[in-house]
């Protein structure tokens, strides 16, 4: 086996005037797990897309297993022994595991013959790498952890010696993530090379042998994992010291601000998305909702915030009761004392073609402070935007700049600023740091804690378990549209929360 699996030398990649990769060099040793970290937009995904043939570098060279290689397509990468497991799986839901693995590599006169010839090889790979899965099961019947195994099997079946995994734990419970790490250990033991792209520094420290750090399109550091720590890596990623822990005093819960009772909801297809959901949120506390994405959290947020209609059950905000007969929308929920940071800032939180000053008043545009006798007061809007940008460290602080020209982290800060500056009794926030740089995460977390300490009620939904454990005072865990359990954050641990996320109550475990 060659000593070096990958050598990228002086890779440059530009998209118009934007330099995504600038003279990037990377060496990955064979039989190791090599992590690549960096802030959102640092260029790590672009670099891996160059390696896998989705993009072609403007200049630079690639060597695979110590042979100079030209990669113009994913097919070239596969031929060179490179496989990639994408963050969003590339599987056909209605096909079986076997059909998905074989798809694109069929041989022989008929498909049946091809499948029969491939079945033995697939079973051998399953056994050798502990990737057991029912090869006759259809993909849409498998949990995401098993679907991910299918993606790894696909790559191995195609002869991959080098596996690229892009944010592989984003849709996994902690137990599923632990199992994935055991699989990666086994792959390493068998001589395979793994390149792991992740923003979770805890995972880098737990599983990798080496780690490389990218910042603003450049490679800024390479480290042996055993000789670094999370704090150093965070500082290298951001270019300054970052506080990774969340400092907060004990909660002091007060009156009930939000009460949800017996909430049921079916979507347009008749699928039961919420089942008898009940909970309360008090002033002066953060209630976190944990769960793997797709277990009813989004539907819960949409109903509480008035985006979707209330079908069954009741909601109370500041003792104002809402029933299925009530006529409510997002605007009326705001009038009752709710602010809402949506899960998807670009789809629901912003109009990216509008200026920052126009976005900062969305949903509050009827506020008398922004309106004159006949038309809107542009000076007042610009002044308010500038103040909020300064308070929430939005860069650049230009109210007239189009929102699409801001980074994802600064876009998120705008949404957070708009909602938190209203001084409402209840803040409902979904995925507050999704796609946000580590420096912006630190800032947003501080603002959420400040809301709680100002005696506001906060309902926090996040698929990031670290975020839930760090910020919450009480934690609700959702699985399949139900509240599986509630635990005080001070008593919580990843194992118990992970079991609940998988639908297993503690007494059953």
User: What does the pLDDT look like over 114-147, one tens digit per residue?
Assistant: 677 788 888 889 888 888 899 999 998 888 888 8
Instruction: Please report the pLDDT score of residue 506 as a whole number.
Output: 65
Contact between 161 and 126 under an 8 Å Cβ cutoff? The reply is: no
182 belongs to a structural domain: yes
* Radius of gyration, CA atoms only, the chain: 25
Specify whether 439 is located in the same domain as 336: yes
Instruction: Please report the pLDDT score of residue 293 as a whole number.
Output: 84
Instruction: Please report the pLDDT score of residue 255 as a whole number.
Output: 97
105 belongs to a structural domain: yes
394 belongs to a structural domain: no
Percent of residues, the chain, with pLDDT higher than 90: 67
- Would you say residue 111 has pLDDT above 80? no
DSSP for 24-56, written as a single string: EEEEEETT-EEEEEE-TTSSHHHHHHHHTTSS-
440 belongs to a structural domain: yes
- Would you say residue 316 has pLDDT above 70? yes
Reported as a pLDDT band with limits 50, 70 and 90, residue 110 is low
- How far, in Å, CA of 67 to CA of 311, rounded? 62
Show which of 172, 204, 238 is a domain's final residue: 238
Closest CA to 40 of 241, 232, 198: 198
Q: Provide mean pLDDT across the span 1-30.
A: 92
In total, how many domains does the chain have?
2
Per the document, the length of the chain is 509
Q: Provide mean pLDDT across the span 160-171.
A: 87
Reported as a pLDDT band with limits 50, 70 and 90, residue 1 is low
CATH of the domain at 443: 3.40.50.300
Domain limits at 37? Answer: 4-238
Specify whether 224 is located in the same domain as 261: no
- Would you say residue 301 has pLDDT above 90? yes
- Would you say residue 355 has pLDDT above 80? yes
Specify whether 231 is located in the same domain as 267: no
Specify whether 339 is located in the same domain as 447: yes
What backbone phi and psi angles, to 5 degrees, belong to 40? -55, 125
Q: Provide mean pLDDT across the span 274-283.
A: 98
Instruction: Please report the pLDDT score of residue 108 as a whole number.
Output: 58
User: What does the pLDDT look like over 412-461, one tens digit per residue?
Assistant: 999 999 999 988 999 999 999 876 777 788 889 999 999 999 999 999 99
Instruction: Please report the pLDDT score of residue 86 as a whole number.
Output: 82
State the average pLDDT for the chain: 91
391 belongs to a structural domain: no
- Would you say residue 294 has pLDDT above 70? yes
Instruction: Please report the pLDDT score of residue 475 as a whole number.
Output: 97
CB atoms within 10 A of CB 308: 16
* 338-342, 370-374, 401-405: segment of lowest average pLDDT: 370-374
User: What does the pLDDT look like over 63-82, one tens digit per residue?
Assistant: 999 999 999 999 999 999 99
Instruction: Please report the pLDDT score of residue 265 as a whole number.
Output: 97
- Would you say residue 36 has pLDDT above 70? yes
User: What does the pLDDT look like over 382-405, one tens digit per residue?
Assistant: 999 999 999 998 888 999 999 988
Specify whether 474 is located in the same domain as 341: yes
Q: Which residues contact 83 (CB under 8 A, 6 or more apart)?
A: 152, 154, 155, 156, 158, 160, 162, 163, 164
Specify whether 286 is located in the same domain as 137: no
380 belongs to a structural domain: no
Specify whether 224 is located in the same domain as 276: no
Instruction: Please report the pLDDT score of residue 435 as a whole number.
Output: 67
Closest CA to 258 of 223, 230, 286: 286
Specify whether 188 is located in the same domain as 263: no
247 belongs to a structural domain: no
User: What does the pLDDT look like over 216-262, one tens digit per residue?
Assistant: 899 999 999 999 999 999 999 988 887 777 889 999 999 999 999 99
Specify whether 54 is located in the same domain as 17: yes
* 83-87, 132-136, 287-291, 321-325: segment of lowest average pLDDT: 83-87
Specify whether 214 is located in the same domain as 296: no
Specify whether 215 is located in the same domain as 298: no
Specify whether 210 is located in the same domain as 337: no
405 belongs to a structural domain: no
């Amino acid at each position: 086996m060659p000593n070096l699996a990958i050598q990228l030398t002086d890779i440059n990649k530009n998209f118009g005037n934007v330099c995504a990769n600038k003279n990037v060099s990377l060496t990955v040793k064979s039989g190791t797990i090599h992590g690549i970290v960096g802030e959102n937009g640092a260029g790590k995904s672009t670099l891996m897309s160059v390696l896998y043939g989705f993009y072609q570098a403007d200049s630079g060279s690639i060597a695979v297993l110590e042979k100079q290689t030209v990669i113009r397509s994913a097919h070239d990468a596969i031929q060179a022994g490179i496989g990639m497991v994408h963050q969003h799986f590339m599987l056909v839901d209605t096909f079986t595991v076997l059909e998905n693995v074989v798809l694109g590599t069929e041989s022989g006169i008929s498909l049946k013959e091809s499948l029969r010839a491939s079945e033995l090889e697939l079973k051998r790979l399953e056994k050798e790498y502990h990737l057991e899965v029912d090869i006759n099961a259809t993909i849409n019947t498998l949990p995401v952890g098993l679907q991910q195994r299918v993606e790894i099997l696909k790559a191995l079946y195609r002869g991959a010696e080098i596996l690229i995994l892009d944010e592989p734990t984003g849709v996994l419970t902690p137990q599923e993530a632990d199992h994935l790490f055991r699989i990666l250990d086994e792959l390493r033991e068998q001589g395979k090379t793994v390149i792991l792209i992740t923003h979770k520094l805890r995972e880098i420290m737990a599983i990798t042998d080496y780690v490389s750090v990218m910042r603003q399109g450049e490679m800024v550091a390479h480290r042996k994992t055993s000789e670094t720590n999370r704090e150093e890596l965070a500082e290298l990623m951001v270019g300054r010291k970052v506080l990774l822990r969340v400092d907060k005093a004990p909660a002091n819960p007060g009156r009930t601000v939000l009460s949800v009772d017996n909430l049921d909801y079916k979507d347009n297809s008749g699928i039961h998305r919420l089942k008898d959901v009940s909970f309360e949120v008090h002033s002066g506390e953060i209630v976190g909702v944990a769960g793997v994405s797709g277990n009813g959290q989004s539907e819960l947020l949409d109903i509480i915030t008035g985006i979707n209609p209330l079908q069954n059950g009741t909601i109370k905000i500041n003792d104002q009761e809402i029933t299925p007969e009530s006529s409510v929308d997002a605007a009326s929920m705001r009038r009752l004392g709710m602010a809402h940071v949506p899960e998807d800032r670009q789809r629901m939180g912003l109009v990216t073609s509008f200026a920052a000053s126009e976005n900062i008043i969305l949903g509050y545009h009827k506020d008398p402070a922004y309106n004159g006798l006949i038309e809107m007061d542009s000076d007042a809007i610009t002044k308010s935007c500038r103040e909020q940008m300064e308070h929430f460290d939005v860069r650049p602080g230009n109210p007239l700049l189009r929102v699409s020209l801001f980074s994802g982290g600064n876009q998120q800060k705008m949404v957070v600023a708009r909602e938190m500056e209203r001084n409402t009794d209840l803040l409902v926030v979904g995925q507050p740091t999704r796609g946000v740089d580590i420096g912006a995460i630190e800032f947003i977390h501080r603002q959420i804690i400040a809301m709680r300490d100002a005696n506001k009620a906060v309902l926090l939904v996040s698929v990031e378990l670290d975020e839930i454990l760090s910020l919450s005072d009480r934690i609700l865990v959702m699985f399949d549209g139900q509240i599986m359990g509630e635990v005080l954050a001070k008593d919580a641990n990843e194992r118990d929360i992970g079991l609940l996320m998988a639908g297993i109550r503690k007494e059953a475990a």
